[in-house]
Amino acid sequence: MSLLTGFDEIVRQGEALAPHTWFHLGGPAEYFATPRSIDELAGLVRRSAAEGIPVRLLGGGSNVLVRDEGVPGMVISLSEPAFGEIRASGHTLTAGGGAKLGHLISVAVREGLAGLEPLVGIPGTVGGALHGNAGSRGGDVGQWTCRATVMTRTGELLQRERDDLTFAYRESSLDELVIVEGQFELERDDPEELTKRMQKHWIIKKAAQPLGHQSAGCIFKNPRGMSAGMLIDQAGLKGSRVGGAEVSDLHANFIVADESASSQDVLRLIDLVRSRVAERLGVELEMEIEVW
């Protein structure tokens, strides 16, 4: 009997993680699981805990860089339909943690519910967006969140209410293993107006960021009152390269990778950018992306 007997249909060994991330880089997961229901998810989390297997949750893979060596233990993806549902009721939208944030935004706009449309263009899942409080200059996902259902590392399902949630710049108190579902309380508005507003945000974002490249959104957090992109640009680092990784010419807080890149190239370029910005401008940049 193996450690994961009974979970054979949903667990694969040595699954390449690169295709599951926006960077398309990095090695395999020791175990990769796609549970089909909350019960299956809970069973898997409990079994992993009992067997001492470390567990990580992968969202849309748009804010993660996987190291070339890969990841020991279990990586869980909520890509099955049970975790991707979106329901509307009055001013409220409820979305599974595995639903795409972009899908949630389009449902909101279609239903005439305002608030999330400035976030258009942010990739990833609802769970990932809540975990890191994804946002733009027009606001963040946390400000519209009224409730979340989470699962702990022992497989327990909990409801977290608004009063018990805190969101700050790219940070949230939702730190349990899995964000199973999020609920968003939005404001009534005209769907046509909302569509226009969303399109405007999309055009601005597309002009300013290298969307559609092999990248992972902004690499660094903005230091208080400053823009990391502007600092990296001022330090003269646009176009700097290590192997197949390059600081974007369009927006300096993005690193774009080409087919030949390795994760190591990206990590070395991150180190180079950090040390040059510290040296030339005296600012220590903090990473926004997670390195696995």
- Residues forming the site for ligand EPU (CB under 6 A): 136-137, 208, 217-218, 221-222, 227-230, 233, 251-253, 288
Comparing CB distances to ligand EPU, the nearer of 149 and 248 is 248
Helices and strands per DSSP (H, E), number in the chain? 6, 20
Q: Of 27 and 127, which CB lies nearer to ligand EPU in the complex structure?
A: 127
Angle, CA of 245, 249 and 250, to the nearest 5° = 120
Query: Which one, 34 or 222, has the nearer CB to ligand EPU?
Result: 222
CB of 218 to ligand EPU, least distance (A): 3
Confirm if 33 and 44 have CB atoms less than 8 A apart.
yes
| Tokens standing for residue 285 | 């940049």
Type of residue at 288: E
Nearer to ligand EPU, 198 or 228 (CB): 228
Give the shortest CB-122-to-ligand EPU separation in angstroms: 7
Minimum distance, C-beta of residue 253 to ligand EPU, in the bound complex (Å): 5
- Over its C-alpha atoms, the chain yields an Rg (Å, rounded) of 19
Q: How crowded is residue 267: how many other Cβ atoms within 10 Å of its Cβ?
A: 18
* Least distance in angstroms from the C-beta of 220 to ligand EPU: 6
Any bridge partners for residue 110, and if so which?
none
136 or 195: CB nearest ligand EPU: 136
Shortest Å distance, C-beta 137 to ligand EPU = 4
Q: How far is the CB of 32 from ligand EPU (least distance, A)?
A: 25
Phi, psi values for residue 140, rounded to 5°: -140, 170
Q: Which tokens sit at 119? A: 């976030």
The distance of closest approach from Cβ of residue 222 to ligand EPU in the complex, given in angstroms and rounded to an integer, is: 4
Return the number of the residue (158 or 169) whose C-beta is nearest ligand EPU.
Answer: 169
Instruction: Tally Cβ neighbours within 10 Å of residue 69.
Output: 12
Q: How far is the CB of 283 from ligand EPU (least distance, A)?
A: 13
Helices (H), 224-282: 228-234, 263-281
Q: Encoding tokens for residue 1?
A: 């009997």
Tokens read off for 153: 């590392």
Q: 72 or 169, CB closer to ligand EPU?
A: 169
- SS3 state at 146: strand
User: 3-state DSSP call for residue 187?
Assistant: strand
Q: Which is nearer to ligand EPU, 11 or 235 (CB)?
A: 235
CB atoms within 10 A of CB 177: 20
Q: Roughly what angle, to the nearest 10 degrees, separates helices 101-110 and 191-208?
A: 150
